[in-house]
Chain A
Amino acid sequence: MDYKMISALLEKYWEGESTLEEEATLREFFSTPHNDLPEDLLEAAPLFGYFHVEAEKVWEAPPAKVVKLSPLRHWMKYAAVILVAVGIGYALKQHEQRQQQVLVAMQQEDMNDPQKALEQTKRALQLLAKNLHKGTAGMQKLSYFNEATAVVEGKED
């Protein structure tokens, strides 16, 4: 093997002036063990040996699966929207029912208290009486009218 050529390449390598091909040649040269290498080549052997080993290393990234995404992949968000809507609806309904119950309860409360019940009844009866009174007033007028016609008719008779 032409150690002189390798030495020259190595010199270029350390100076950062070697080309990719020249570096490949160096890696290739150092990938196999050599006997009685001159000092300058011996120095570079571990480094290029390392490069060679690293370059040959097989890297196994775990295989990537291509997953088809279904349109329902975000089903949770749809479910959440429905859940919230149902929740609000239910809450509103409950609220309404509760108000109704409160009204009924308040009325019942009134009925259970004798004093309040009496007042309520009185008020109701008074309302009735007032309306009845309006009725009787009308009837009275009607009876005057009847009497009047009777008098008129009597006179004519």
Chain B
Amino acid sequence: MSLDRFLTQVVPVRQKLYRFAFRLLGNEEDAQDITQDALMKVWGMQEKMAELQNMEAWCMRITRNLALDKLKSRKYRMSDELDRAGEMPATHQQSPHAVTEQNDVMEKVHVAINALPEKYRTILQLRDIDGHSYQEIADILDIDMNDVKVNLHRARKTVREKLQNLQVYGL
């Protein structure tokens, strides 16, 4: 693979890889490191790129594997809820009370989703937030498409039950 191909096909996916890594690792620095490592790895395995059908899925798979390795190797602690407090989206049209209430609801949903097993969570995020197709998710996770459907169904069901238990309703 030439440098041109890397610059036009791989580097633009970087933002996506970073977001993916961030969701898995939960903090900026590690997400940056892993994104960088993933790009290095892709560059190092460039001879494989010719036979690839979906370069983006391949890059994401590499990122995920690196991120999971990191989580495993360090007995990783997800960053504290306090660290994330500043990340909640600011909404200017609503009253402070409504904003607080909405943030509270968002936070509960966030916690409910983050409490899912990694596979469920990743599938749910890839489908419902990023809008990937079943086939793309199957490529990224390197699993069967039916597995994707089954796991997605279970993930949605679990989140639904959690939110029902927490009695999170409305916005």
CB distance from A53 to the nearest CB of B (A): 5
* Structural contact, A57 and B11, CB atoms closer than 8 A: no
CB distance from B99 to the nearest CB of A (A): 12
* Structural contact, B89 and A47, CB atoms closer than 8 A: no
Per the bound structure, the CA–CA distance linking A37 and B149 in Å amounts to 29
Which of B32, B109, B130, B156 is close to A62, meaning CB atoms less than 8 Å apart? B32
* Structural contact, B131 and A16, CB atoms closer than 8 A: no
* Structural contact, B169 and A20, CB atoms closer than 8 A: no
Which of A13, A43, A51, A61 is close to B32, meaning CB atoms less than 8 Å apart? A61
Q: Which residues of A contact B164 (CB under 8 A)?
A: 43
B159 at the interface (CB under 8 A from A): yes
- A55-75 interface code vs B (CB 8 A; 1 in, 0 out): 101010110101000000000
* Structural contact, B109 and A50, CB atoms closer than 8 A: yes
Closest residue of chain B to A57 (Cβ to Cβ) is: B89
* Structural contact, A45 and B171, CB atoms closer than 8 A: yes
CB distance from A104 to the nearest CB of B (A): 60
| A59-B15 contact given A45-B171, A50-B110, A66-B7, CB 8 Å threshold | yes
A110 at the interface (CB under 8 A from B): no
* Structural contact, A64 and B133, CB atoms closer than 8 A: no
A-B contact count (CB 8 A): 79
Closest residue of chain A to B18 (Cβ to Cβ) is: A61
| A64-B105 contact given A45-B169, A46-B171, CB 8 Å threshold | no
CB distance from A39 to the nearest CB of B (A): 9
CB distance from B156 to the nearest CB of A (A): 6
* Structural contact, B89 and A16, CB atoms closer than 8 A: no
B57 at the interface (CB under 8 A from A): no
Closest residue of chain B to A37 (Cβ to Cβ) is: B170
Q: Which residues of B contact A13 (CB under 8 A)?
A: 156
Which of A15, A30, A47 is close to B163, meaning CB atoms less than 8 Å apart? A47
Q: Which residues of A contact B108 (CB under 8 A)?
A: 46
* Structural contact, A51 and B171, CB atoms closer than 8 A: no
A148 at the interface (CB under 8 A from B): no
CB distance from A6 to the nearest CB of B (A): 15
25 sample A-B contacts, Cβ–Cβ < 8 Å, listed by A number: A16-B150, A16-B152, A20-B131, A20-B133, A23-B131, A27-B128, A30-B171, A42-B170, A43-B160, A46-B106, A46-B108, A46-B109, A46-B168, A47-B109, A49-B105, A49-B171, A54-B129, A59-B22, A61-B15, A61-B17, A61-B35, A64-B11, A64-B39, A66-B7, A66-B11
- Interface positions of B (Cβ within 8 A of A): 7, 11, 14-15, 17-19, 22, 31-32, 35, 39, 89, 102, 105-106, 108-110, 113, 125, 127-131, 133, 149-150, 152-153, 156-157, 159-160, 163-164, 168-171
3 A-B pairs closest in CB distance: A16-B153, A61-B18, A50-B109
- Interface positions of A (Cβ within 8 A of B): 13-16, 20, 23-24, 27, 30, 33, 37, 42-43, 45-47, 49-51, 53-55, 57, 59, 61-62, 64, 66
With A23-B131, A50-B113 given, can you name 16 additional A-B contacts, CB distance below 8 Å?
A14-B160, A16-B150, A16-B152, A33-B171, A46-B168, A49-B102, A49-B171, A50-B110, A53-B89, A55-B129, A59-B22, A61-B14, A61-B18, A61-B31, A61-B32, A66-B7
